[in-house]
Homo-oligomer: A and B are copies of this chain.
């Protein structure tokens, strides 16, 4: 199997080498060899990095993410918890969707006073409610 030099992986993934080293230090990813000094990674690490960036996007801490995946990078949670996470994501998606709708409403609504606009308030309160099943 062809290995990826840290520099190559970094370029490919957009993640700086310092961050890759940091991720390895905290056990989030693993290098499998060295070429001289240089870390070499298995290609699937690229998928892992994609997963990590998604996890961050979803607001998970690196610790959370670490707990969600085995060292080979494949998800490592009991079925039930996976569904729980997925459900939580659904909630979050709902919140973001309503925030988006609120922004679009504001862009199109001629009213001066959005804080008083019932439609706006409804959108925001609703959105915040579904958002309050918190992650961070």
List residues of chain A with CB under 8 Å of any chain B CB: 14, 44, 47-51, 53-59, 72-75, 79, 82-83, 85-86, 89-90, 92-93, 95-100, 102-104, 106-107, 113-115, 121, 124-125, 127-128, 131-132, 135-136
Contact = CB atoms under 8 A, between A and B. Distances in A.
Contacts of A95: 54, 57
Main secondary structure, interface of A, reads: helix
A92 B51 contact: no
A107 B89 contact: no
B75 A131 contact: no
Contact of A51 (B56, B82, B124): B124
B82 A107 contact: yes
B53 A132 contact: yes
B74 A114 contact: yes
Contacts of A136: 56
9 contacts: A44-B115, A47-B115, A50-B125, A51-B124, A53-B128, A56-B136, A58-B99, A89-B96, A89-B97
A54 B132 CA distance: 9
B128 A50 contact: yes
Contacts of A125: 47, 50
